[in-house]
A = this chain, B = another copy of it.
Amino acid sequence: MKKQASYKSVVSDKWLVNSKNLPKGFWAEGIACGIKRKDKKDLALFYSQVPAKAVGVFTANQVKSAPVVVSKEQLAKSDGVRAIITNSGCANACTGTRGLNDAKEMCNLTARLLGLKPGSVLVASTGVIGRYLPMPKIRQGIKNLVTNFLHCSIAPSLNYSETAVEAIMTTDTFPKIVSKKIFLPSLNPNPYPLIPVSIWSCAKGAGMIHPDLATLLCFILTDIAIDRRLLEKALKTAVNQSFNCITVDGETSTNDTVFLLANGLAGNQPIKKEDNNFRKFQNVLNKVTLDLAKMVTKDGEGATKLVKIVVKNARNSQEAKKVAKAIALSPLVKTAFFGADPNWGRIIGAIGHSGVKIIPEKIDLYFDNLSVTHKGIPIVGIEKKARKILQQKEFNVFVDLNQGKTKGEIYTCDLSLEYVKINSAYST
């Protein structure tokens, strides 16, 4: 107890209620510290007034960036998270011991300047792999962020959360923020038995997006009071039905990170078991993450279309998803989407080499409600209608395997000229 007291915040309590989007007790800002060119924002600080319960999900890539390694360690031993320090423009991946030290320094410097306990700060980076962080710029940037924060803590109504979201963007064309409220039983039921609980979230995506995990940084902040174990369960469930169901290019990044911080300041009766209140929270968390996932897919590098692939009547959900992924990843299917070319043979081709045992003569295929293939052979004369559907900004592809009862879904985007343009000159 004594030790904890020595890390008393240097910040006043005045701005505890943030009047705008962020949940109670959270603050965020992003600035340009010089990692990127042209004064683009590239460093952000997320802060919680009190220690937040924190859980995370990280990349499935065996090559893990330094911030992923460091944050995983912090989460494992932390009894409360107070801040996230995050940058874009440099992934700090494949950078060995020096990279690990840099990531740790980002955490420690932030903690020291804010008067926080070491180990209460998480770190996340995104950008080019294989380069060292420009630490002098980052050190100065962190100092500036903390100074700004100390000023803001006197004027709590200032909300810079959008600048923080901008600062984690790479090839994203728009900042991705989703924020929702639910009402839960209050700790003090008089005069109001229900009080609002906020869930605010942001993400950056664009390239290297693929299930397990879709490449991204995603930070979810909430003021709910909830057990850490349940928070972890809720995040895993939410990620499984959202970020693990989207693909842009089949790439898995070294830096994928989802953080969920719950600081408990909403004033709800703490959730301690999987009751109706937990389910309410789970539902809204599912919605928030799915909305973000769809935004990420829609804003896939160069994407002009959001396509939902639904595979029905598979033998099991693993096979349903495998078939959906094979379609969602096929460059020939994705370029056909881009050109609104109803060349559905490519979809059948992708299904046939998905690795799932299928019966070609049983497959039905639909674009939205339009039947294009029945029992594996073409419906003639539907080209014009099919083309119209594929010209839409959003449409669905339904595949009926007719060999079981299970469904699987995945969101994908088209493969455009812009994807190639962006990615042939990214690091330069």
A interface residues, Cβ below 8 angstroms from B: 60-64, 91, 93-96, 98-99, 128-132, 207-208, 210, 249-254, 329-332, 335-336, 338-339, 341-346, 348-353, 357-358, 360-361, 373, 375-378, 415-417, 419-428
Q: List 19 A-B contacts (CB under 8 A).
A: A63-B376, A64-B352, A64-B360, A91-B345, A93-B349, A94-B373, A98-B377, A128-B343, A129-B345, A130-B344, A130-B348, A132-B378, A207-B332, A249-B332, A250-B329, A254-B349, A336-B427, A342-B427, A416-B424
Residues of B within 8 A of A350 (CB): 251
Known: A63-B360, A341-B424. 4 other contacts (CB 8 A): A93-B345, A249-B331, A342-B427, A417-B420
Q: With A131-B378, A353-B60, A427-B341 as known contacts, state yes or no: A94 contacts B332, CB within 8 Å.
A: no
Complex CA–CA separation, A375 to B64 (angstroms): 14
Query: Hey, which chain B residues are within 8 Å of A343, CB to CB?
Result: 128-130, 426-427
Copies of this chain held together in the complex: 2
Residue in A341, A342, A420 with the greatest tally of chain B CB atoms within 10 Å? A420
Return the contact of A61 from the options B251, B352, B415, B419 (Cβ within 8 A): B352
Q: Assuming the A-B contacts A130-B378, A207-B332, are A349 and B420 also in contact, with contact meaning beta carbons closer than 8 angstroms in the complex?
A: no
User: Are B426 and A420 in contact (CB-based, < 8 A)?
Assistant: no
Query: Nearest residue in B to A249 (C-beta to C-beta)?
Result: B331
Name A251's contact: one of B63, B353, B358, B378 (CB within 8 Å): B353
Q: When the two chains form their complex, are residues B427 and A352 in contact, meaning their CB atoms are under 8 A apart?
A: no
Among B128, B357, B419, which residue has its beta carbon within 8 angstroms of that of A345?
Answer: B128
Given the known interface contacts A251-B331, A341-B427, A423-B332, the answer about A353 and B130 at a Cβ–Cβ threshold of 8 Å is: no
CB pair A62 B358 closer than 8 Å: yes
Contact partner of A348 (CB less than 8 A), chosen from B129, B351, B420, is B129
